[in-house]
Amino acid sequence: MVREAAISIYLAFFWLLFQTMKLFPQKEKTVCVASFGDNIHYSTRALRSQSDQEIIYLKNRTCSYPFDDSIGTVIPFTILRPASYVKSIYHLATATTILADNYFGFFAAARFREDTLCIQLWHAVGSLKQFGLMDPSNGNRSNRAHSRFKRVYQSFDYTIVGSDKMGSIFRESFGVTNDQLRRTGIPRTDLFYDEQAKDRIKESIYAQFPDIKDKKVILYAPTFRRDGSHIDALDTEKLRTSLGDEYILLMKQHPSVKEPIASGSA
């Protein structure tokens, strides 16, 4: 009850600011709302190669992606920095294109202009768990919350997916129609078709972790869980004795998990 009241107050405040900023003229620009960054980076890099229009990156407080400021302007999108927050809402209210890579509750209160195009890029390549409207934790939320979730997902004109299978999952998870899906592939996987970029990244990784160069590498990168990443549940000692020196285990936390990996885990 308290949580929903706080969210309602915040969204009412956002709506008021947003409606005020809509009084300003619309500009030809792409405004990106990021909590992860990868898909937005590759999309805007491609956009910059074709157009000189203004690009704005709005980074929420969890986003640590190092956007290229030669492509666009980076603004922290947090109410804890009031001037930047108001500027962010101004850009959202006056944009011609909006890109997002996650669920952002403010979309439930944003009434974009009819000719503003909103695109959900999402951040995951595949689906390892239920999310969106299918998230099991939704059973503990109120009817008002469920209505808000639907308004957020319905605010997007298009959602980018990587395959027909992912399309069917997104239709259920976001409550969108088939016409709202664009099966273009996920922007950040374009990297796999750039041999020079792959070589540069490989050499960078070898420079950072020289011990892995002649090893078979196992990457353990668990998805996000609200009750913790469970990364310490992996029996690394058993792996070490079973696999031997031929292998190297790399462990990577989900970007939303800030807790460090225990020193004895790797």
164 shares a domain with 227: no
Give dist(CA 242, CA 237) in Å, integer: 9
> Looking at residue 247, what DSSP letter applies?
E
**Backbone conformation region of residue 248, classed left if phi is above 0, alpha if psi is from -120 to 50, else beta:** beta
Can you give the pLDDT at residue 137?
83
Give dist(CA 108, CA 118) in Å, integer: 13
Q: Residue 69 in contact with residue 41, Cβ under 8 Å? A: no
Confidence of residue 265 (pLDDT cuts 50, 70, 90): very low
Whether 230 shows a pLDDT value over 60: the answer reads: no
Whether 11 shows a pLDDT value over 90: the answer reads: yes
**Backbone conformation region of residue 122, classed left if phi is above 0, alpha if psi is from -120 to 50, else beta:** left
Give dist(CA 95, CA 254) in Å, integer: 31
Q: Give the CATH number, domain containing residue 82.
A: 3.40.50.11820
Give dist(CA 63, CA 165) in Å, integer: 28
The angle, 0 to 180 degrees and rounded to 10, between the axes of the packed helices 2-21 and 82-94 is 60
Whether 266 shows a pLDDT value over 50: the answer reads: no
pLDDT digit string, tens, across residues 139-176 = 888 888 899 999 999 999 999 999 999 999 999 999 99
15 shares a domain with 87: yes
Mean pLDDT on 111-135: 89
Percent of the chain with pLDDT over 70: 92
133 shares a domain with 154: yes
Mean pLDDT on 214-233: 73
Whether 96 shows a pLDDT value over 60: the answer reads: yes
Between 37 and 234, the more confident residue is 37
101 shares a domain with 15: yes
Can you give the pLDDT at residue 231?
60
126 shares a domain with 71: yes
Q: Residue 187 in contact with residue 43, Cβ under 8 Å? A: yes
Whether 263 shows a pLDDT value over 60: the answer reads: no
260 shares a domain with 128: no
93 shares a domain with 213: no
The whole domain housing 53 covers: 2-189
Q: Which of 156, 189, 222 is the last residue of a domain?
A: 189
Domain total in the chain: 2
200 shares a domain with 81: no
What is the average pLDDT score of the chain?
89
Q: Which of 189, 219, 248 is the last residue of a domain?
A: 189
Can you give the pLDDT at residue 157?
96
Which of 46-50, 163-167, 220-224, 225-229 comes out lowest in average pLDDT? 225-229
211 shares a domain with 182: no
Whether 211 shows a pLDDT value over 90: the answer reads: no
Can you give the pLDDT at residue 235?
78
Q: Which of 54, 53, 56 is nearest to 33 (CA)?
A: 56
185 shares a domain with 261: no
Q: Which of 189, 222, 245 is the last residue of a domain?
A: 189
pLDDT digit string, tens, across residues 237-246 = 888 888 888 8
Whether 1 shows a pLDDT value over 80: the answer reads: no
Token digits of residue 27? 């500009």
Give dist(CA 251, CA 261) in Å, integer: 8
Q: What is the dihedral of CA 225, 134, 187, 103, to 10 degrees?
A: -70
Can you give the pLDDT at residue 260?
63
Give the DSSP H/E element, type plus range, for residue 250. Answer: strand 247-251
Cβ within 8 Å of residue 57, ≥6 positions away: 32, 34, 40, 44, 67, 72, 73, 74, 75
Can you give the pLDDT at residue 264?
47
Mean pLDDT on 99-118: 96
